[in-house]
Amino acid sequence: MSLNRRNILTGAAAAASAAMLPRVAMGADSVKLGSILDTSGIFDAYGTPMDMAMRLAVNEINAAGGLLGRQVEVVAYDTQSDMALYTQYGQRLTRQDQVDVVHGGILSASREAIRQTMRKTRTLYFYNVLYEGGVCDRNIFINGVTPAQQVEALVPYAMGKSGKAVYILAADYNYGQITARWIQKFVADNGGDAVGVDFFPLDVSDFGSTIAKIQTVGPDLVIAPLVGGAHLSFFRQWAAAGMKDRIPLASTTMGVGNEHKVLTPEEGNGIMVAYNYSQELDTPANNAFKERWSAAHGDSSLIHEIAVSNYQGVMTWAEAVRQAGSLDREAVIAALESDLSIDGPAGTVTVDPKTHHAVLDVHIMEVKDQGMRVIETLPQRQPIDTQAVCDLQANPDDNTQYEIQI
Partner 1 sequence: MPGDLTRDAITITLVTGVLIWVLPLIVGTYTLTVLAIYGMLGLSLGLVWGFGGILCFGQAAFFGLGAYAYAIFAINIGESTVPMILAVLVPAVFAAFLGALMFYGRLGDVYLGVITLVVTLILFKVINSTAGPQYVIGNARLGGFNGIPGFPTLNVPGIPDAYIWGDRYFQVCAVLLGLVCMLVTALLRSSFGRIAVGIRENETRMSLMGYDVRARKTAMFAIGAAIAGLAGGLFANWAEIVTPNLFSLGQSAEIIIWCIVGGLGTRLGPVLGAAGLAYLKFLLGQQAVVDNALVTGLVLVLFVLFLPKGVVPALSALWRAGAGRRPRGRVRQRRRPPRRERLNG
Partner 2 sequence: MDLYVVVLVEVLYGVASLILISAGLAIVFGMIKVINLAHGEFMMMGGYATITAVNLGVNVFVAMLVIAPVAVGLVGLVVERLVIRHLYGRLVDTMLATWGLSLFFIGLATMIFGNTTTGISTPIPGFAIGDYQVNGYNFFIIVAAALLLVAMLSVLKGTRAGLVARGTMQGPEMAAALGYSPDRIYMATFFCGSALSGLAGAILAPLVGLVPTSGGAYIAKAFITVIAGGPSLVAGLLSSASLFGVVNQAFTFATSPVIGEVALLVAAVVLLRILPQGVTGTFFKGKI
273 alpha-carbon distance from chain centroid: 15
- Per CB under 8 A, the list member of 54, 113, 303, 332 interacting with partner 1 is 113
How far is Cα 3 from Cα 276, in angstroms, rounded to an integer?
29
Residue 201: closest CA among 183, 177, 236, 219: 177
Nearer to partner 1, 174 or 370 (CB): 174
Least distance to partner 1 from the beta carbon of 298, Å? Answer: 21
With CB cut-offs between 5 and 8 Å by kind, which of partner 2, partner 1, none does residue 42 bind?
partner 2
User: What are the CA-CA distances from residue 335 to residues 118, 326, 370, 384 (Å)?
Assistant: 19, 10, 40, 22
With CB cut-offs between 5 and 8 Å by kind, which of partner 1, partner 2, none does residue 206 bind?
partner 2
- Which one of 2-10, 133-141, 161-169, 377-385 is the stretch in contact with partner 1 (CB under 8 A)? 2-10
Contact pattern from residue 154 through residue 183 relative to partner 1, giving x for each residue in contact according to CB under 8 A and a dash for the rest: ------------------xxx-xx------
Helix (H, G, I), strand (E, B) or coil at 163: coil
Q: Is position 391 an interface residue for partner 1 (rule: CB under 8 A)?
A: no
How far is Cα 247 from Cα 211, in angstroms, rounded to an integer?
11
Q: Which residues contact residue 7 at a Cβ distance below 8 angstroms, ignoring those fewer than 6 apart?
A: 74, 76
Q: Which residues contact residue 281 at a Cβ distance below 8 angstroms, ignoring those fewer than 6 apart?
A: 345, 346, 363, 374
Least distance to partner 1 from the beta carbon of 87, Å? Answer: 5
Phi first, then psi, for residue 48 (nearest 5°) are -60, -50
Helix (H, G, I), strand (E, B) or coil at 69: coil
With CB cut-offs between 5 and 8 Å by kind, which of partner 1, partner 2, none does residue 87 bind?
partner 1
**Contact (Cβ atoms closer than 8 angstroms) between residue 377 and residue 360:** no
- Which one of 195-203, 214-222, 232-240, 287-295 is the stretch in contact with partner 1 (CB under 8 A)? 195-203
Q: Is position 1 an interface residue for partner 1 (rule: CB under 8 A)?
A: yes
Q: Is position 205 an interface residue for partner 1 (rule: CB under 8 A)?
A: no
Pairing state between β 249-250 and 221-223: parallel
Nearer to partner 1, 111 or 304 (CB): 111
How far is Cα 148 from Cα 391, in angstroms, rounded to an integer?
16
Least distance to partner 1 from the beta carbon of 22, Å? Answer: 30
Q: Is position 121 an interface residue for partner 1 (rule: CB under 8 A)?
A: no
How far is Cα 346 from Cα 311, in angstroms, rounded to an integer?
10
Least distance to partner 1 from the beta carbon of 182, Å? Answer: 13
**Contact (Cβ atoms closer than 8 angstroms) between residue 248 and residue 270:** yes
With CB cut-offs between 5 and 8 Å by kind, which of partner 1, partner 2, none does residue 241 bind?
partner 2
With CB cut-offs between 5 and 8 Å by kind, which of partner 2, partner 1, none does residue 246 bind?
partner 2
Helix (H, G, I), strand (E, B) or coil at 36: strand
Q: Where do contacts with partner 2 occur on this chain (CB under 8 A)?
A: 1, 40-42, 44-45, 80, 172, 198-201, 203-213, 215-216, 228-230, 232-233, 236-237, 239-243, 246, 262, 264, 267
Q: Is position 234 an interface residue for partner 1 (rule: CB under 8 A)?
A: no
When computed from its CA atoms, the radius of gyration of the chain, rounded to whole angstroms, is: 21
Least distance to partner 1 from the beta carbon of 174, Å? Answer: 5
With CB cut-offs between 5 and 8 Å by kind, which of partner 2, partner 1, none does residue 26 bind?
none
Least distance to partner 1 from the beta carbon of 296, Å? Answer: 21
Question: Rounded to the nearest 10 degrees, what angle do helices 44-63 and 284-297 cross at?
Answer: 100
Nearer to partner 1, 104 or 345 (CB): 104
How far is Cα 298 from Cα 285, in angstroms, rounded to an integer?
18
Least distance to partner 2 from the beta carbon of 390, Å? Answer: 33
Which helix or strand (DSSP H or E) is residue 178 part of? Answer: helix 174-189
Phi first, then psi, for residue 234 (nearest 5°) are -60, -50
Q: Is position 79 an interface residue for partner 1 (rule: CB under 8 A)?
A: no
Q: Is position 91 an interface residue for partner 1 (rule: CB under 8 A)?
A: yes
- Give residues in contact with partner 1 (CB under 8 A): 1-3, 5-6, 9, 82-84, 86-88, 91, 108-109, 112-113, 116-117, 172-174, 176-177, 199, 201-202, 403
